[in-house]
Every structure is written in structure tokens, then in C-alpha cells.
Amino acid sequence: MVLRQGALTVNVDPQGAGICATWGGVPAISHCFPMVPLGNRVQGNAFTYDGQTHRFTPNTDEPLYLHGDGWLGLWQARATETTAHLTFDHPAPAASPHRYRATMDLALGPARLTVTLSVTNTGPALPFGLGLHPFFPRHPKTRVTAQAGAFWTEGPGHLPGSPGPIPGTMTLNGPLPDHGLNNAYQDWCGRARIDQPDLRIDLSAEPLFAHLMVYAPKGGDQFCLEPMTHLPNALARGLPMAVLDPGESLSGKVVFDFTQPE
């Protein structure tokens, strides 16, 4: 499916609810997918809630269950010229113990893409999370500006290590570091600015998305800024996540604004 409004064009693939976007013919979002019912990895592929242990099955060639189920599933989709509505049902435990219905709504303006993610628990009470995983083109002159309260080191298995102040070499205030990043930024301010040679992208998210995962591999031509409602590995560490009773929902918006560089 192709959505258009003004200079903005968004391609939508029901497989994995993947999207990519150009603005004025310039690549803006290389690829983006929703993370539901959680983002990132879970240590040991297991967690305990309310005295019961729940287990995950690896869903890629990695040893740890990764990014939830939605990004690998087929979504039902309908669209107009400037909007799309996608739904994904996970009715019975398979790779994950969660049962839910997820929705993703896209709305285009001439220079804005709004993504609304929602998940409704259709099973027993469990912790749930949401996230968005956009890839952006990376150029030598790409600059990223964002603020957060704390930083998590990267530990074994691409899991977060320990929290602390943001090191000077890891600040998001200029060019991405040459050494690469695969780290969580806690208590994110909800805004990030990406300055490209021929495009500026302002990313903003509702307060529900209080954390930002940054993936910028050394020498890569893409990078990711991933708004998340929870920290990576929150389930296994017992860190805060939204607990949804049967029928309860979690929902939030992420907005991308596109402009000419200053």
C-alpha cells in the first residue's frame, strides 16, 4: 500500500507492519516496524509474574526472543490515500505467552507522519510494552540531538548492563560516535532531532514512551532511534512495565515531522 500527502510518501507492508517513507523524494525512514508486546530482548527467554514463570521461544536465528511477535506476523490492513489501519491478533501462546490484539494507525500530513500504536490484552494479566523501531539513513554529516536522564551500558548478549550518567562519548548531541551504539537511554525527554544533509526530521513521542534505544553500528549506513515504553530486558529484571488486566489497553503516539534543513 502507498500513502501520499503533499511531498510525503509512505509505503506500508502488511507483513510485519513495515513502513518506509520519503519526503520530497529524499529517503527519510528506511524501514520501521512496531514492537509488541515488548521491545528488545528478554534474558534467559523467561520472566516471572505473580508467582508464575513464563517462557519465550526464540523467533529469529538469535538465541533470545526479539522485539515481540508483530514485526514477524501478517497484519490485516485497510487504507485511504492518507491513512492506514492495521491489526494483528496473537490469540494463543506460541513464541510468547502474551495474548493480545495490536493496532497501528498511520496518518499523513504534507510533512508529518503520525503513528499510533495500541495493544489490548485478550488473555490473563501480564506486563506489556510497546515500541517503534525506525531505521534512518546515516550520512557522514548526520547529527542527532536528544536528551535523557541516564544511560545503560551494553552487556553480554546485546542486553543492557548497568545504568549510570551518560558518558561524554555517548551523548546525543552531534554526530553519531564512530565506535557505534547499542544502548538504552532512560527517562528520555520524548523529542529527538535528526539533521541530515538534505532533510531535518523531528521525532516526538507521548510521555508513555519514556525510553529511547539507540542502535548505530560502527561503519553502518543506517541507525535507529527506538521509542519504547519500557527499558530493554525489563521483564527479566522486574523493571517497571504496564500490567494489563484482561481487556485493558496500552496506547501511544509517535510523530515524525519533516522539513528542509536550516
Residue 87: strand, helix, or coil: strand
Residue 217: strand, helix, or coil: coil
- For residue 74, give the H/E element and its range: none
Whether residue 197 is predicted with pLDDT greater than 80 in this model: the reply is yes
Residue 241, all three cell numbers = 512495565
DSSP 8-state class, residue 234 = H
Residue percentage of the chain with pLDDT more than 90 = 94
Whether residue 76 is predicted with pLDDT greater than 80 in this model: the reply is yes
**What's the CATH code, domain 2-259?**
2.70.98.10
| pLDDT recorded at residue 94 | 75
| pLDDT recorded at residue 187 | 96
| pLDDT recorded at residue 217 | 93
Residue 92's pLDDT band, with cuts at 50, 70 and 90, is: confident
Question: With contact defined as beta carbons under 8 Å apart, do 172 and 148 qualify?
Answer: yes
Residue 70, all three cell numbers = 508483530
Over residues 198-242, the pLDDT tens digits come to 999 999 999 999 999 999 999 899 999 999 999 999 999 999 999
Closest CA to 254 of 206, 191, 187, 201: 206
Over residues 138-194, the pLDDT tens digits come to 999 999 999 999 999 999 999 999 999 999 888 999 999 888 899 999 999 999 999
Burial of 101 (0-12, 13-18, 19+ CB in 10 A): middle
Query: Distance between CA 133 and CA 209 in Å, rounded?
Result: 12
Whether residue 93 is predicted with pLDDT greater than 80 in this model: the reply is no
| pLDDT recorded at residue 185 | 97
| pLDDT recorded at residue 178 | 85
Write down the mean pLDDT value for the chain. 96
**Secondary structure percentages of the chain, helix, strand, coil, to 5:** 5, 55, 40
